[in-house]
Structure 1
Amino acid sequence: SRSHSGLAQLVGQSGRYLGIAYSVLLLPGKRIRISATHSSWKQVNRKSLDVYLIDVLFPKLAAEREPVVFEVPPSGTGDSPADQGYQVMLCPLHDAAGNVEGAVAQLGNVNGKPFTAENIRFMSHVGRKVEYLITQSFDSMTGLMNRSGFEAQIHESMSLLESAADVHQMIYFDLDNLQLVNDTFGQTAGDEVIKRFGQLLEEQLPRNGIATRLTGDDFAILLTHSGDDEAMALATALRGNGEKLRYLKGDRSLQVTVSVGIAPFTASIAEESEVLKAARIACDSAKDHGRDRIEVYDQQNLSIIRRFDDMNLVTDIQKSLDADGFELHAQPIVSLSRKRTAPRFEILLRMRDTGGNHVSTSAFFSAAERYQLMPQIDRWVVSTTLSCLQPYVQYLADSGAVFSINLSGQSLGDDAIRRFIEDEIDASGIPPASLCFEVTESAAVANRQKAQSFIDTLRERGCRFSLDDFVAGLSSFAYLKNLRVD
């Protein structure tokens, strides 16, 4: 596959350089086997050679750091080149902890000459290159393939779909409550749970499966040429390992469960990213419906359709953030009183689609909230608003004009966002009294203590706060006296 093309090139070129009959890279734990065979060894039983290398010679490498040469005596059982006796040079490959996890083996010099010290030095260099390439394709914490290597495997698997009836399966896993483990017991505890689940994937992975840790607490398995029943059975078995994911410390424990999404795909799929997207949407749907369950991607399911639309919007939102593709509109706030008041405006965020049309604000806000993009959007709005107002600092001071900026519930109470706002105000020189931050009642009440600390700190700087969606949550009167807003 593309993810192993560099390894295959190294194995083949090193064998040709040394004039070797048979070269093979074996990493049993990672299910990697790459070989290059000279014409005189084409009929050799490669499976039996692999067994001999792994079972007989690999154990002798445990304490070795450099390539080792072994003499293999004639077998006396056949007349193939491999039965006549030959030399094997094994170059050990080490994992991050320094343990031998595999080797590059060079078997049978074509010209019959023994391996030289120069050959050994050459293979030592090749071994280091191989170890480097492996680290680029595999996750250091779990030993599973990383995202880039996995996406290459998906691409490769698509070429194996020979007919419309041929099906692969993508299974997406998300560990529930892992953040709670991190918050309660620390990051090391969360890492231990991640390692445990990675080990469970390895232990239960079928021969037609490839496993990956995509990011954080997200994992996936690609099953090639697999039916719905096989995918469901594997997903059920892995979801049922909840007890093995329980984290215990003293008399305290936290249960980590697994939400799973399954997406079958055929040759009609456009590209590999769509496969992972569909499986993730199904997994997110499982989380929405209570967690610790399995959902199968179904294009007729309205919840699935909404999530697919959200994920497409997330891509557009990220592009808008990266390329300043949002628009800010200043809507006048007009008093119904005849009394003359200072100018007031509310800053409204707008986004356009690829056709230049405005996207429904509620639609892209829903997607941004679901995928935790609101803090990034809030930062963009604050920074861009202050940048636009900066040339008019004197006017703001003289007129008393006030601009209202909406803050999301995901930002309210976030100390990093608060410090960002303070830094932006200081850098712009804009009078803090010219800024009024609008927060929804439900967001303020959801985490009242943090919200009040956030509000108090910025009010002390001179900023104002207003409560939006008043009484929408039916709790405003009970909490209003404790929320110091303007």
Structure 2
Amino acid sequence: MAAIAHSFPQHLSATRPSLDPYGHLLRMLMPRAVGIAFYDADGKPMWVADGYEGPDPLPLVRAALSDVPPATTARIDGFSQDHEGAPAYVFRLRDSDGNVIAVATLLTRDIENHPYSFVQHLVQPALECLQRELEARNSLGELSRDLRARDDDLNLLLRITPDEADGAPQGDELGTLVQACVDHLGCALGALVVPERNIAICRAPAGQKPQVEILSRIHRHLLNWAQLQRRNLTINRVRARPVELPPFKILSTPIRHASGRVVGFLALFREEAGDDFEPRSEQLVELLARKTTTILQNNFDALTALLTRPAFETQVRALVASRRQTVPDSVLYLDVDRLHVVNDNFGLHVGDELLARIAELLRRKPRPGALVARIAGDRFGVFLPDCTLDFAQQIADMIRRQCAELSGSRGDGMMQVSVSIGVAELPDTQNPLAHGLANAEIACKAAKDRGRDRVELFQDADQSIMRRHSDVLVVKRLHEALEEDRFVLYAQPILPLGPAHTEPRFELLLRMLAPDGEVLPPEKFLSAAERYQMLPVIDRWVVGHALAALRPHAGVLRGRGLSFSINVSGPSLAAEDFLEFLEGSIRSSGLPPEALCFELTETAAVSNLTRADRLMQRIRLLGCSFALDDFGTGLSSLAYLKALPVSVLKIDGSFVRDAGINQRTEAMVRAIAQLAHTMGMETVAEYVETDELRTRMAGLGVDFGQGFAIGRPVPLEEVLGDLALYEVMAAR
């Protein structure tokens, strides 16, 4: 006969004291009981009375747990039976949901076999106290586990979020997010699929190879579910498993565009023997899906679905830095030929459609691991890892031919499509991508010089490219101009197009002075400044000198409604310390903040949406205003407008010039003006070059105009010296 004492683990003694009172109470209520023990819902002993060496009650416990009757309102039920020649009584203790939380056994050597109901009535008070104690313990344990789980969830969210909420992503942020899901939730596989962004990421636990075939079997079904049902899918148990459904537990949640449209899914897979996906896991994955939406919004161009330039540069740097050995890399710089002709002849919407179709060609990834970005406007960049210059030339020529095949009839005309492509190897320098892109751009411009629709390599022996390379000398002149303070600020008036009297406004424009005193327009130096990351330094010069020039006129500006606009570039917006510099400069200037307006281009604002919003909110608290420059250059402009606290929309000059001859463009300008007025914003038409355009913009509801028909740029010191003159002009 097995002794019960041998069936209890040694660690039991640590938990006995807290249950001793209930055991002693049962012994007092039933003195003839010689074996009293408590077991948990898994059949593991929690407490046993001292000194008992009789039959082992474990078979009784197993019977009690294997054949559990349906729950009733009673919290205690059980049975009695003969156990190795003596009466035994078994009691199930249930929680408020009817689940068994413990089993109590009473073994006796009494020659009298009392009915179960008699014994239960006798020990009921002690069992009820024990049931309440264990249920309270379970509740506290569940609460503790839930708190630990939530702490773990919070740690996960913090781990996949940069130190600053608007910090630039470091490398493969989406891959890091999927890997964190797999590790944190104990999954066999995690997958992120966004077809229109050409994203398909699979991750497995560390040290294991992802089972991609699982995703291959089911990804279309998961995508269809996400797009049609637009809600989560949780599969923990399946009675009849279809062939397409892999033997895994699945949690899939939709990935949405900023507009709410479903564009993909984030799915997690657990082994069938693993834990079920609980509501907490579902809520966590929903949060990570929203984080994914933010990453997609910040890192991908809205029109073409390609990487933005900052995201492109970040990912290339991370890829190159992660290598163990050096391999040759190449980069392509692609420029669409005569896109302005397409826009003029067929409308801006056709030009945007063409850019999207070229982007679709580039998204096919001409080489494994290639990264593609929309650099700006009609220009694209392609990074080709582990690719020699000769092979990159072949890839570039293939892309050129594919783009040419997009030519065809459009309405009553023929749309000719061609691209010029420059190819360069990444040099072994401190910033190889920036220098490689600059060299590829030089080669691309040489391709345009030589007739367009061609591919050119960057080679030092090529004299025409060497002439292009001389543009690098502009950077040296820029540094000299900064050191010698050879920049000057001009101001161009922005005046109302209607009869209402409004105080004059001005946009501050930058000019560079050559050593001989020649005034150089921005076209001569800004592209080189952007290419070699000098815009943040130049922006600081502009802010500092503009505020210093306006400071003596603070009294005139205060309460008058006069305002001066200062441009902020995309690189400055992305710089870590620019916001603090700008905020500190405004506070220390002594100027009325309402006299200052800051202009951000739509491309810069959308590419750095989080940073743009943060900068605007902080500077608006000081009393300054913001204008969104070049508005309308992308079809997605309106999707982001509600997220940016701007006061003025500056309608891009391409719309303004086209409005007089294109009814569709005219309708778009009118719609922008109406939308701006509805949202409490003002509108400015840029590049108003003729009186006809000035009249036309006024007729379309645009509030202000800027351009040669309004007023030419003049040195800022002249404007400050004669503000009364501009007040008269504004009152016309």
TM-score normalised by L of structure 2: 0.43
**1:74-473 alignment runs, 5 A limit:** 85-95=247-257, 100-108=262-270, 112-159=274-321, 166-203=327-364, 205-246=366-407, 248-268=409-429, 270-311=431-472, 313=474, 317=478, 325-326=486-487, 350-351=513-514, 358=515, 368=524, 414=689, 416-417=707-708, 419-421=710-712, 428-429=721-722
Quick check: 1:146–1:212 contact (8 Å CA) kept in 2?
A: yes
Aligned to 2:626: none
Read off the aligned partner of 2:312 and give its amino acid letter. F
Read off the aligned partner of 2:710 and give its amino acid letter. R
Question: Quick one: distance in 1 between partners of 2:308 and 2:435?
Answer: 18
Relative to structure 1, the CA distance from residue 189 to residue 144 in structure 2 (aligned partners, 3 Å threshold; closer, same or farther) is same
Question: Quick one: distance in 1 between partners of 2:397 and 2:719?
Answer: 54
Deviations 1:388-424 (A, max 9, x none): 9x99xxxxxxxxxxxxxxxxxxxx9956145343787
Aligned to 2:79: none
Deviation at 1:149, TM superposition (A): 1.3
Identify the match of residue 22 of structure 1 among 174, 189, 197. Answer: 189
Deviation at 1:6, TM superposition (A): 3.5
Deviation at 1:197, TM superposition (A): 0.9
Read off the aligned partner of 2:447 and give its amino acid letter. A
Q: Secondary structure at the match of 1:181?
A: helix
Relative to structure 1, the CA distance from residue 72 to residue 58 in structure 2 (aligned partners, 3 Å threshold; closer, same or farther) is farther
Say whether 1:46 aligns with 2:339: no
Deviation at 1:227, TM superposition (A): 2.5
Question: Quick one: distance in 2 between partners of 1:62 and 1:117?
Answer: 21
Read off the aligned partner of 2:458 and give its amino acid letter. Y
Say whether 1:6 aligns with 2:299: no
Say whether 1:62 aligns with 2:227: yes
Deviates more, 1:254-263 or 1:233-242: 233-242
Read off the aligned partner of 2:379 and give its amino acid letter. D
Deviation at 1:293, TM superposition (A): 1.5
Read off the aligned partner of 2:217 and give its amino acid letter. Y
Read off the aligned partner of 1:158 and give its amino acid letter. V
Deviation at 1:170, TM superposition (A): 0.4
Question: Quick one: distance in 2 between partners of 1:239 and 1:174?
Answer: 10
Q: Secondary structure at the match of 2:452?
A: coil
Read off the aligned partner of 1:201 and give its amino acid letter. L
- Whose RCO is larger (CA < 8 A, sep 6+)? 1
Quick check: 2:192–2:202 contact (8 Å CA) kept in 1?
A: yes
Aligned to 1:399: none
Deviation at 1:249, TM superposition (A): 3.8
Relative to structure 1, the CA distance from residue 3 to residue 135 in structure 2 (aligned partners, 3 Å threshold; closer, same or farther) is farther
Aligned to 2:18: none
Quick check: 1:163–1:267 contact (8 Å CA) kept in 2?
A: no
Q: Secondary structure at the match of 2:423?
A: strand
Aligned to 1:437: none
Quick check: 1:286–1:294 contact (8 Å CA) kept in 2?
A: yes
Quick check: 2:189–2:202 contact (8 Å CA) kept in 1?
A: yes
Deviates more, 1:193-202 or 1:92-101: 92-101
Question: Quick one: distance in 2 between partners of 1:65 and 1:322?
Answer: 58
Read off the aligned partner of 1:263 and give its amino acid letter. A
Deviation at 1:184, TM superposition (A): 2.9
Deviation at 1:194, TM superposition (A): 0.8
Deviation at 1:223, TM superposition (A): 0.9
Relative to structure 1, the CA distance from residue 359 to residue 267 in structure 2 (aligned partners, 3 Å threshold; closer, same or farther) is farther
Question: Quick one: distance in 2 between partners of 1:313 and 1:305?
Answer: 14
Quick check: 2:481–2:512 contact (8 Å CA) kept in 1?
A: no
Question: Quick one: distance in 2 between partners of 1:312 and 1:413?
Answer: 34
Deviations 1:362-386 (A, max 9, x none): 9x7797189599xxx9xx9xx99xx
Q: Secondary structure at the match of 2:228?
A: coil
Read off the aligned partner of 1:23 and give its amino acid letter. G
Question: Quick one: distance in 2 between partners of 1:319 and 1:104?
Answer: 52
Quick check: 1:205–1:211 contact (8 Å CA) kept in 2?
A: no
Deviation at 1:124, TM superposition (A): 1.7
Question: Quick one: distance in 2 between partners of 1:209 and 1:242?
Answer: 18
Question: Quick one: distance in 1 between partners of 2:518 and 2:290?
Answer: 53
Relative to structure 1, the CA distance from residue 27 to residue 179 in structure 2 (aligned partners, 3 Å threshold; closer, same or farther) is same
Question: Quick one: distance in 2 between partners of 1:30 and 1:24?
Answer: 14
Deviation at 1:110, TM superposition (A): 9.5
Q: Secondary structure at the match of 2:275?
A: coil
Q: What stretches of structure 2 of length at least 5 have no aligned partner? A: 1-167, 490-510, 530-537, 554-686, 691-706
% same residue: 24
Quick check: 1:239–1:260 contact (8 Å CA) kept in 2?
A: yes
Aligned to 2:7: none
Question: Quick one: distance in 2 between partners of 1:150 and 1:122?
Answer: 29
Question: Quick one: distance in 2 between partners of 1:24 and 1:174?
Answer: 34
TM-score normalised by L of structure 1: 0.63
Relative to structure 1, the CA distance from residue 45 to residue 290 in structure 2 (aligned partners, 3 Å threshold; closer, same or farther) is closer
Deviation at 1:2, TM superposition (A): 5.3
Deviation at 1:318, TM superposition (A): 9.7
Read off the aligned partner of 1:171 and give its amino acid letter. L
Quick check: 2:237–2:249 contact (8 Å CA) kept in 1?
A: yes
Deviation at 1:49, TM superposition (A): 2.3
Quick check: 2:396–2:421 contact (8 Å CA) kept in 1?
A: yes
Read off the aligned partner of 1:368 and give its amino acid letter. K
Q: Secondary structure at the match of 1:291?
A: coil
Question: Quick one: distance in 1 between partners of 2:342 and 2:392?
Answer: 29
Q: Secondary structure at the match of 1:220?
A: strand
**Greater radius of gyration (CA):** 2
Read off the aligned partner of 2:225 and give its amino acid letter. K
Quick check: 2:188–2:271 contact (8 Å CA) kept in 1?
A: yes
Quick check: 1:161–1:167 contact (8 Å CA) kept in 2?
A: no
Quick check: 2:329–2:387 contact (8 Å CA) kept in 1?
A: yes
Deviation at 1:7, TM superposition (A): 2.8
Relative to structure 1, the CA distance from residue 43 to residue 162 in structure 2 (aligned partners, 3 Å threshold; closer, same or farther) is closer
Q: How many residues align?
A: 371
Relative to structure 1, the CA distance from residue 60 to residue 429 in structure 2 (aligned partners, 3 Å threshold; closer, same or farther) is closer
Deviation at 1:90, TM superposition (A): 0.8
Question: Quick one: distance in 1 between partners of 2:483 and 2:356?
Answer: 33
Quick check: 1:176–1:259 contact (8 Å CA) kept in 2?
A: yes
